[in-house]
Chain A
C-alpha cells in the first residue's frame, strides 16, 4: 500500500477555519468484479460475463456513468433495463456532496444484487488514483479520474487471460468530457444516444432529462421572463437573519392551487402567511422550504376561499397566468391576512408525481410516435401541471403515469419534467391503489428474500419450547384466563388481557403484548425494513404489512389456544381501579378466547354467562369505566372522526355498501387498558433513558386553530373555551342543540380537525413540560401495545426490556438521542403518510361506490367557499 495525503479547508460550526488532512491509502487488492476476469482475486463477481451489446457498441460492455448522469438521469439508472454498471467512488463521493437523496438512491441500486451495479473504489486503487495537477479544477480532476478508470477497465478486460471480447462504455452528457474521452480512445456516449439503442425499452427515451438547452437562453434573451429570479442562498440566509425574510414550508390549499400558506414568524408572531398567485409563489412547489418577503399592507389579501381546478390545456394555462388572481373578490368582513411572495427556495421537495396526461394537450393522430410536448397533471391537486416531452403520448393517454420534475426556469410558466414509468390504466382499482401508495410514499414492495431469511427456520411450525419458559426469565402465564378482544376479522392480534382476584382483596390485571422483539433483533435486515416502513398501512381492501405475515398474523399474533411469547404489563389494582403496583415481564401465555368486540359485549350483557372468563371481562369493563371517568375528569377529550367501513363484494372487492363504524363498550374497554399500559411503560422507560426514551406527545393547539370553528359556533351562541383540554372538553359537552342530535358529534368532528398531530419524539430533544399529551390529558405517553403494526412500539419494547433486564446488552440504537430523533422523524412522517393513504383509499372507494349512482341522504354544510361548499353526510 502506498500513502497519499488529501487536504481541504473547512469552517467549523463556531466559524473558525481549519485545515483538514486525511490520509489516503492506495491499494492493489481492489478487484474489477467482472465474471470473465481471471486475473483478479474476487469471489462472487457482480458484473455479468455477458453484458448487453447495442447497435452503436457491438462489443458486450459494462457502463460507467459520470456524476451528472446519476444526478440528472437517476430514473433511467433505476430502470430494470440498465444493468452491469460500474459506479466509481469518485462519482459516489461527488454525489454525496451534491445530493443526499440521489446518493441514497444510488446506494440502494448498488445494494440490489440483481441490478449488478458494482461500486469500484477507484480512488483507492493504485492504478486508477490520480493526483490533481497544478491549475486543474477539482471538477476537471474528477472527470479525468473517471476517464482514467474507464481506460483502466478497458485495458484490464482486454488483457484478461481469456481475451474476453468485453469492454466498457462511459456515459456522459458533458460534451467536453466526451471529446477528451474520444481523444484518449475511450468509448463513450451521451445518455440519449445510448438509450435510443435500447429498443426493447422504448420508454427510456422519454425518461431522458434534457440538459439545459439553448431555448432557455434564447427565451431569456427575448425577454420572455415569467418569474423573478430567486435570490442566492447567502442573500436568503442573511435576509432571514436580519428579519427581512421569513422562512417556512409552503402549503398549497387543497381547494385552490394558486393559493398557499406558509407558517412563518411575521411581526414577531408565528402565523399563517398567504401566498397568492403564480407570480408570488415564484416556482415553489408544495412542501418546499421557502424564503418569503411580506408584501406591503395595501397588497394584503382577505382569505379568498375559492375552489379552483386547474384548467385543462396550455392556452388557458397562460390566460390564468395573466389574469393572476385579481378576479377573486373577497368577503370584506374578513380580516386582512399577511400576504407575502416567495423570494427563494431554501430546500426543494420535488419527488416523482403520479398523474395523467391531459388529453387536450396531445396532438397528432393516434399511433403517432413522434416526440411532442404534453401537459401532465398530478393526482395531488396542489402540484402544478408539468410539461413533458414524450414519443408515446397516445399510448399514455388514459394511463396513470409517474413523472419527475427536471427544472423550472424563469422563462417557463410550467415546470419541465420527464416521464418515469407507467402504472396502469386510470380508474382501475389496482392502479389507483398503487397510485395512492406511491403518492404517500408508502413502501409496498414484497419483502425481499434477505428479509424473509430472518424469520425463524421452523416457519409455521415454530412453537414455544421449554427453553423459552425456563432460560429467558419469562413468567409462565399459560394457566391464566387470558383473552383478546378485537374487531372482526382481525388476524394480527397485538394484545390480550387478563384479570384475577388476589388474596388481599386487590386485583391483578395483565396486559399482554405480542413479543415481537423476540423475533426482530436490532440490525437484522427485517428490523431495518420495519424501521423504514414504520407502520402497517390499512387500506380499504388491503393491508401493507410492516412485518412479514408469518410473524404478524401467526407467530406473534396472540391467537386463542396457542402458546405465544408476550411482553406483559401487570398491575395490582384495588377495587377502585387505582394502581397499587406495576410490574413488567416477558412471559408465555395461552389465550383462551379471541373475541370480537360484539362477542365480548354479548358476554357482558348475557346474565346467564357466569364462567371465569366472562366474569373477568365484566371486572375489566367496570375498571375501564372507572379509568375512563377519571381520565375525563382530568380533561381528556372525546373527539370524533367519521370512520367509514365498506362492505366489499367478495370476488371483485367492489364496494357494495358504506357505513360509519360503530363503537361498542368493549372498544373502550380495550382502549382504556392500552392507554394505561402505554402510560406506565412511558414512565418506566423515561426514568431509565432520560435522553433517548421514545415517547409520544400531543402539543396544545394554538388558539388560532379554533378561530374558524369558534366563528361558526357563535352563530349558535355557543362559546368554545380552548385554553386547557379540560375546558375544551367541558365546552364540547355543552355544545348541544336539542333539535339536532347529530350536532354535538359534528362539532367534535370539526374540533378534531383543529388539533395538531401527535408526534413521536426522543425525550432528550424536548423540555419535560412539552411531553404532555393534550388529547389524553396525561403528562407522559408512549406507544407500547401494537408492535406488530407500529415500529415505535418495537423500539419501546427494546427500551423496556433494557429497563427490566440488567444483563441485557444493547447498542447505541437505544442511547443515542440524535439517532432516536431521526427515527422519530421518520416514524412521524410514515404515520402521517399512512393516515393520508388510508383516507385517500376511503375516498377512492367512496368515489367508486358513488360512481354512476344517486343516493339521497341528509347532510350538514360545514364550510362555505366562494364558489363551493363542504358537506358532512351523516349516516
Chain B
C-alpha cells in the first residue's frame, strides 16, 4: 500500500484550499484526455480512454443472444464487468484486485443495468418471450493514475457509441411461431437505441473543506469522503454513490451535486463532440471508398 506522510497530506490539503493542486491544476480542472474507438475489431464496440499521463481504460462491448428472463420477457440485458490488470499496479497481481474489481463492477452495473441509463431495453428483445440480446460491457484498467471510475464511465459511453448490434430479421412461421435470422453484413448492424442518454460519472473528492474532481492517486489517499454522481446530457441525475470513510455536510453535499451536474454536462458535450468528429471522418472516407486506417493502440501516447 502506498503510504502518505503527514507533510505530503498537508501539502495536498492546502493546495486544494488555495485552488492550486500539486500538478498545477485548479480544483475543478480535468486532465487532458485521449480517446479512441473501435480498436478491438472483434468486439461489437470498443473504446480506450487515457487520462493525463496515467489512467488507461479499455472497454470492449460484446453482444450475445440469450433466452429472455421469464419475468421480463420483452427486454434485453446489460451486464458490466471491470477488471484491473496487474500492468496498472502490482497490487492487482493474482487476486489482489478482486475487491476493487467488485466495487467498480457494482458501481458501473448500478448505473447501466437499469432504465436510468437511457438505453431502450425493449429494443434489445429480439422475439418477445423468446430471445434477447445481452450486452456485455467489459472494462479493463491497463494503467493507473487516479480517477478510474470516471474514466471507466467515459470509455463505456464511447464504446457503446461505437457498438453496433447485428441486425435480425424475424420470420413468421405461422401458428404463432417466429424464428429469426442474423444478417451477416456488418454494415446492416445498428446502433443501440437511446445511446445519447447514457450518463457518465463525476467523482468529487472532499479534501479538507474543499472538493476536487479528477483526483490523482495521492489526492485519492487524502480523500475524506467522495461522491460519484452519474449525470446524463439533460443534467438528470442517474445515480449517486458515496464512498470513503468521512461524512459530507448537507450544504456541501448539494453544492457538490450542482458541481457534478455542471461538470458532467460539459464533459458529455466534449465527449460527444469528439465521438461525432471521429465518426464523421470515418464516414467521409467510407463515402469515397477509402481505407479507414485506425491509429491502433497506443499510437497516440
Within the complex, are A and B direct neighbours (CB within 8 Å)? yes
A9 touches B189 (CB 8 A): yes
B184 CB contacts on chain A under 8 angstroms:
8-10
A10's closest neighbor in chain B, by CB?
B184
Mask of A230-257 contacts with B, CB within 8 angstroms, 1/0: 0010110011001000000000000000
Mask of A6-48 contacts with B, CB within 8 angstroms, 1/0: 0111110001111111000000000000000000000000000
One of B23-31, B99-107, B270-278, B282-290 at the interface: B282-290
One of B41-49, B138-146, B222-230 at the interface: B41-49
Contact with B179, one of A9, A17, A19, A238 (Cβ below 8 angstroms)? A238
B63 CB contacts on chain A under 8 angstroms:
17
Which parts of B17-74 form the interface with A (CB within 8 Å)? 41-44, 63-65
A5 CB contacts on chain B under 8 angstroms:
41
A23's closest neighbor in chain B, by CB?
B41
If A19-B43, A19-B44, A238-B179 touch, whether A132 touches B187 (CB-CB below 8 Å) is yes
Among B179, B181, B283, chain A packs the most CB atoms within 10 A around the CB of: B179
Cα distance A131–B287 when bound, in Å?
Answer: 10
If A130-B289, A234-B173, A238-B173 touch, whether A7 touches B186 (CB-CB below 8 Å) is yes
Which parts of B166-189 form the interface with A (CB within 8 Å)? 166, 171, 173-174, 177, 179, 181-187, 189
Cα distance A131–B289 when bound, in Å?
Answer: 5
A21's closest neighbor in chain B, by CB?
B41
Cα distance A19–B183 when bound, in Å?
Answer: 11
Q: Interface range on chain A: under 10, 10 to 19, 20 to 34, or 35 or more? A: 20 to 34
A234 touches B182 (CB 8 A): no
A11 CB contacts on chain B under 8 angstroms:
182
Cα distance A2–B283 when bound, in Å?
Answer: 21
Interface membership of A467, Cβ < 8 A? no
Cα distance A10–B184 when bound, in Å?
Answer: 6
A9 touches B183 (CB 8 A): yes
B166 CB contacts on chain A under 8 angstroms:
9, 17, 19
A134 touches B283 (CB 8 A): yes
Q: Interface range on chain B: under 10, 10 to 19, 20 to 34, or 35 or more? A: 20 to 34
Cα distance A754–B298 when bound, in Å?
Answer: 73
Cα distance A381–B269 when bound, in Å?
Answer: 76
B64 touches A134 (CB 8 A): no
Distance between A139 CB and nearest chain B CB, rounded to angstroms: 11
Interface membership of B6, Cβ < 8 A? no
B291 CB contacts on chain A under 8 angstroms:
2, 4, 131
B177 touches A16 (CB 8 A): no
Cα distance A21–B41 when bound, in Å?
Answer: 7
A8 CB contacts on chain B under 8 angstroms:
184-186
A9 CB contacts on chain B under 8 angstroms:
166, 182-186, 189
A10 CB contacts on chain B under 8 angstroms:
184
Interface membership of A138, Cβ < 8 A? yes
Interface membership of A133, Cβ < 8 A? yes
A133 touches B182 (CB 8 A): no
A7 CB contacts on chain B under 8 angstroms:
41, 186
If A9-B184, A17-B182 touch, whether A133 touches B286 (CB-CB below 8 Å) is yes
B177 touches A238 (CB 8 A): yes
Contact with A17, one of B64, B177, B290 (Cβ below 8 angstroms)? B64
Distance between A231 CB and nearest chain B CB, rounded to angstroms: 10
Contact with B287, one of A20, A134, A238 (Cβ below 8 angstroms)? A134
B42 CB contacts on chain A under 8 angstroms:
18-21
Cα distance A20–B288 when bound, in Å?
Answer: 24
A131 touches B186 (CB 8 A): no
B172's closest neighbor in chain A, by CB?
A235
Among B173, B287, B288, chain A packs the most CB atoms within 10 A around the CB of: B173
Contact with A234, one of B41, B181, B185 (Cβ below 8 angstroms)? B181
Which parts of A114-166 form the interface with B (CB within 8 Å)? 130-134, 138
A138 CB contacts on chain B under 8 angstroms:
185
A15 CB contacts on chain B under 8 angstroms:
65
Distance between A16 CB and nearest chain B CB, rounded to angstroms: 6
Distance between B36 CB and nearest chain A CB, rounded to angstroms: 16
B189 CB contacts on chain A under 8 angstroms:
9
Cα distance A132–B185 when bound, in Å?
Answer: 12
Cα distance A11–B181 when bound, in Å?
Answer: 9
A234 touches B286 (CB 8 A): no
B171's closest neighbor in chain A, by CB?
A234
Cα distance A2–B293 when bound, in Å?
Answer: 11
Contact with B173, one of A2, A132, A235 (Cβ below 8 angstroms)? A235
Cα distance A2–B187 when bound, in Å?
Answer: 23
Distance between B59 CB and nearest chain A CB, rounded to angstroms: 16
Distance between B259 CB and nearest chain A CB, rounded to angstroms: 40
Distance between B127 CB and nearest chain A CB, rounded to angstroms: 13
Cα distance A11–B126 when bound, in Å?
Answer: 15
B66's closest neighbor in chain A, by CB?
A16
Cα distance A641–B193 when bound, in Å?
Answer: 72
Complex A-B, nearest 7 residue pairs according to Cβ-Cβ distance, in ascending order:
A21-B41, A134-B286, A238-B173, A9-B166, A133-B289, A131-B289, A8-B184
- Chain B residues with CB under 8 Å of chain A are 41-44, 63-65, 166, 171, 173-174, 177, 179, 181-187, 189, 283, 286-291
- What are 5 A-B pairs at a CB distance below 8 A? A9-B185, A17-B63, A19-B43, A235-B174, A238-B179
A2-B291, A17-B64, A21-B42 given; name 7 further pairs at CB < 8 Å. Answer: A7-B41, A8-B186, A15-B65, A17-B63, A17-B182, A19-B186, A131-B291
